[in-house]
Structure formats: structure tokens, C-alpha cells
Homo-oligomer: A and B are copies of this chain.
């Protein structure tokens, strides 16, 4: 699944063949079907596991601090880490290969995703009530989803000297809080 995530991110789901997937783990293409019924099952498995892992990470991050503003900062930091760190391949797949999932699978995965979306909305809702946020929490979350996901296309930690903490600072600095 780790190799699948990498391949799906790099080449896209459709351009990745079952032969590519098999070769990446050193087996023949036919052998893959002993483990997964279809190619799409692999995509779905990658997405489901990613969501489970990230939900846990975000819950922990939110509980580790008290102030709502710090909770938001923690969420931003975790999401940037998720998409640009070790699990970045899988997160990118979740974002960019969504359409490749069948409608039925999409519905299943959406239920899981709602759990951690609720985390964001709770924090943003609190900031709004305190008068620290002018815009609608739903809209803000969606804008942040786009902005943070998109970093995967341009953020290169090795170059430019911008760390993930630095990037988090930039995100917080550009927000009207």
C-alpha cells in the first residue's frame, strides 16, 4: 500500500498499471490479485488507511493545546505534515485521485472523512464565536483544504530553507485571526 500510494501520486491512478504495482513489491502482476480483488480496491485501501491515521494524529494535536488559536495552528501543522511528510503520498492520493474512486466507494470513504472534518469545524466555530474569525467556518475550512493540499505540488523542504514550521507560520500570518 505504501508503494501504491507513491505510484498513484507520481503517475496518477489511471496511469499506474497493476504491473507497475506488482513490480514495486517484487512480485508478478497475477499475484496481486491474491491480495486485492481489483485494482480499485487498492486505491480504496490506501485512502481508508490514510484517513484513519490522520484522524488519530489530528485528535491528538488538538488535545495537546488549549487556546483555540493554538488548536487551529496545530491542525494546520498536522495537515501540512501529513501531506508533505512520510504519509504525503497517500494524502495526495486522497486529494487528487478522488474521482477515480467509484461512487459507492466514495460514499464509504466520505463517512470516515467527516470525522476529522468535524474537528476542524469545532475549532473554527469556537474562533468565530469569540469574534476572532470574520468568515464562515465552513468556507474557511474548505479554503484551507485547498491551500494546504496544494502545497504538495510546490513545497520542497530541501530547497529554499522553508521548514514545515515556517510554512505553518506563513499560513497563520496570512489569516485574519
Contacts and interface: CB of A to CB of B under 8 A. Distances in A.
Contact of A176 (B144, B149, B162, B175): B175
Interface residues of A, number: 34
Interface of A: 11-12, 14-15, 96, 99-100, 133-136, 139-140, 142-151, 153-154, 162, 167, 170-171, 173-177
A160 to B, nearest CB: 9
Given A14-B12, A14-B14, A150-B150, A173 B134 contact: yes
A34 B166 CA distance: 52
Q: How many copies are assembled? A: 2
Contacts of A175: 174-176
Contacts of A176: 173-177
A174 B100 contact: no
Given A12-B99, A174-B176, A176-B173, A154 B142 contact: yes
Contact of A150 (B11, B142, B153): B142
A32 to B, nearest CB: 20
Contacts of A144: 147
A134 to B, nearest CB: 4
A86 to B, nearest CB: 21
A171 to B, nearest CB: 7
